[in-house]
Structure 1
Amino acid sequence: MPGNSQRRGAIRKNTKGATVGSGGQRRRGLEGRGPTPKAADREYHPAHKQAKRGGTGGRVASSGGRGAGKPQRRTKGSSEIVAGRNSVVEALRADIPVSTMYVAGRIDSDDRVREALKIATSRGLPILETPRGELDRLTDGAVHQGLALQVPPYEYADPHDFIDPETPGVPLVVALDGITDPRNLGAIIRSVGAFGGHGVVVPERRSVGMTASAWKTSAGAAARIPVAKASNLTRALEEYQKAGFFVIGLDMDGDVELPDLDLADQPLVVVTGSEGKGLSRLVRETCDQIVSIPMHAATESLNAGIATGVTLYEIARRRRR
């Protein structure tokens, strides 16, 4: 607009003198510095200190069989909060691993609160008195009644752990295909422990994990029976077959009835599918045999936990013979 050049401040004055270059500093700053050194090569990293002591940097060697010498892949689940007086007491009675017990300030004590405090004290668990607002946040708004437990992440085994020629007895592993109910997982772990099994394999996707409910249903067996997590269940089953295992799948329309199973004395992987969809197509095609449990009424069916328990009992019975 005419006349604007006469307005005060319309013309920017250079008060810093002549502009000079960066002397190449900007260009050098854009240059790469090479690859990041390994953790063991960084002086202040814990892996470097452990390497100087002659350690393995946290890696665990495979226990044998196929894949020996490879580092085991240990995966952890997420921590879980158990909320509510009844749930907390039942979890403590089942000896579920607990990292912290939270108690609301000025809680109205009853028999459940006193029992929870007694068990936690006898086990040496950390007990924190927490404001109710903070407890609401920790439990994500659940009805906690002033009591909550934090369950630490479960450390899963590696599927190769069950391929060990030094394992006592004939290897027996249960693999779960599409099981999503933690109570079924807990019941299966309990049956594996009762009938001489060595472990359970679950896939990473579309499958239940080791939750507090699974721990509770296992009635303590989860402390003895390892659960492994496989990134690809079909590939894990093929690895077992290459190691000398036979893979049998449970299905109502099986080719072989359980009493006629002639592979009971061999290293076995028993695959249990979901109640609704059964075995997935790829898993079914990978199995060496599809086995059914004979029942009096064709319209009846068993849930995954009971079907697996019946199968493991029959395998254990035949092996004792």
Structure 2
Amino acid sequence: MKAPLDFDDVIYGIHAVEEALGAGEQILALHVASDRARDPALRALLAAAEERGLRARFEGRDFFARLPYKAHQGVIARSAPFPYADLDEVLAPREGAPLLVVLLDHLTDPHNVGAIVRTAACIGANGIVLPDRRSAGVNATVRKAAAGATAHIPIAQVTNIAQTITAFKKRGLWIAGADAGEGAQPMYDVDLNRDLALVIGAEGAGLAPLVARNCDFLVKIPMLAGVASLNASVAAGVLLYEALRQRREG
């Protein structure tokens, strides 16, 4: 039996690969299931690949059976390493809108990271910052969960989240930490319509104590009795859309 294929930098799924092609990411190889060669759902993807001079390699079931990714939809792209942004790109101002950056404090579930990236891109956030250790980086699962959004928002890696918070404060950003504790203010009672970095804590553990202390304020989502907290990506989505609401209403 052949060993499973294990590519370091992979994008899988129709939409994620389409978005990567459209954003100009460097695709080294494109593998498509041979039984989907004439599938209308792949017409746009294959056309985009041909425009870039990339010929799809049509593979049999054995090829895809050896992959560790199950929700591939018969489409796998091998790419160059993910192009992380620097902090200047993340903090690049946009005319007429205050900054909104999301800091992820050691989230390890790539599905959560991908979902947060997707939501942040949808609401027009300036960028995402995540640690380079003890955290999910932008891997194949993150790209799939983000449904291609990793190609549309700057994502930076840093060595230390607490130090990054200090640097952001010097650049004039307010730091809001998502927290379900009694010391946090309800999201409707805080001003999110300003240059802001929203910090999302790790699954289960929440914000690290040093990170929480360095926040300018803690913000929580009002919860009905009997429900302790929300999943990290759901909480991030609720808070990001509250920030968007406040910004639209002025």
TM-score, normalization by structure 1: 0.62
Task: Tell me the equivalent position of 1:219.
Answer: 147
Residue type of the alignment partner of 2:188: P
Distance 1:121 1:197, change over 3 A: closer
Residue type of the alignment partner of 1:121: L
Give the conservation status (yes or no) of the 8 Å contact 1:79–1:152: no
Task: Tell me the equivalent position of 1:308.
Answer: 236
1:215, distance to aligned residue in structure 2 (A) = 2.2
Give the conservation status (yes or no) of the 8 Å contact 2:92–2:126: no
1:219, distance to aligned residue in structure 2 (A) = 3.1
Instruction: Name stretches of at least 5 consecutive residues in structure 2 with no aligned partner.
Output: 1-6
1:216, distance to aligned residue in structure 2 (A) = 2.7
Give the conservation status (yes or no) of the 8 Å contact 2:16–2:144: yes
Provide the rounded CA distance (Å) in 2 between the counterparts of 1:286 and 1:314. Answer: 22
Give the conservation status (yes or no) of the 8 Å contact 2:37–2:58: no
Task: Tell me the equivalent position of 1:256.
Answer: 185
Provide the rounded CA distance (Å) in 2 between the counterparts of 1:207 and 1:146. Answer: 29
Instruction: Say whether residues 1:127 and 2:52 are aligned partners.
Output: no
Q: 2:29 aligns with which of 78, 97, 100?
A: 100
Distance 1:187 1:81, change over 3 A: closer
Provide the rounded CA distance (Å) in 1 between the counterparts of 2:217 and 2:192. Answer: 12
Q: Match of 1:229, SS?
A: strand
Task: Tell me the equivalent position of 1:57.
Answer: none
Task: Tell me the equivalent position of 1:161.
Answer: 89
Residue type of the alignment partner of 2:47: S
Aligned residues: 231
Task: Tell me the equivalent position of 2:194.
Answer: 266
Alignment of 1:176-215 (within 5 A): 176-215=104-143
Residue type of the alignment partner of 1:122: A
Give the conservation status (yes or no) of the 8 Å contact 1:151–1:212: no
Q: Match of 1:153, SS?
A: coil
Residue type of the alignment partner of 1:80: D
Give the conservation status (yes or no) of the 8 Å contact 1:186–1:216: yes
Distance 1:141 1:259, change over 3 A: closer
Larger relative contact order, structure 1 or 2 (CA cutoff 8 Å, min sep 6): 2
Instruction: Name stretches of at least 5 consecutive residues in structure 1 with no aligned partner.
Output: 1-77
Provide the rounded CA distance (Å) in 1 between the counterparts of 2:38 and 2:17. Answer: 12
Instruction: Say whether residues 1:284 and 2:209 are aligned partners.
Output: no
Q: 1:151 aligns with which of 79, 82, 87?
A: 79
Percent identity over the alignment is 36
Distance 1:132 1:167, change over 3 A: same
Task: Tell me the equivalent position of 1:4.
Answer: none
Task: Tell me the equivalent position of 1:244.
Answer: 172
Task: Tell me the equivalent position of 1:293.
Answer: 221
1:290, distance to aligned residue in structure 2 (A) = 1.2
Provide the rounded CA distance (Å) in 1 between the counterparts of 2:192 and 2:202. Answer: 23
1:146, distance to aligned residue in structure 2 (A) = 8.8
Q: Match of 1:99, SS?
A: strand
Distance 1:297 1:113, change over 3 A: farther
Provide the rounded CA distance (Å) in 2 between the counterparts of 1:141 and 1:190. Answer: 23
**Larger Rg, first or second structure (1 or 2):** 1
Give the conservation status (yes or no) of the 8 Å contact 1:215–1:222: yes
1:102, distance to aligned residue in structure 2 (A) = 3.5
Q: Match of 2:223, SS?
A: coil
More strand by share: 2
Provide the rounded CA distance (Å) in 2 between the counterparts of 1:223 and 1:90. Answer: 11
Task: Tell me the equivalent position of 2:4.
Answer: none
Give the conservation status (yes or no) of the 8 Å contact 2:104–2:129: yes
Residue type of the alignment partner of 1:196: G
Give the conservation status (yes or no) of the 8 Å contact 2:15–2:147: no
1:118, distance to aligned residue in structure 2 (A) = 4.4
1:191, distance to aligned residue in structure 2 (A) = 1.7
TM-score, normalization by structure 2: 0.78
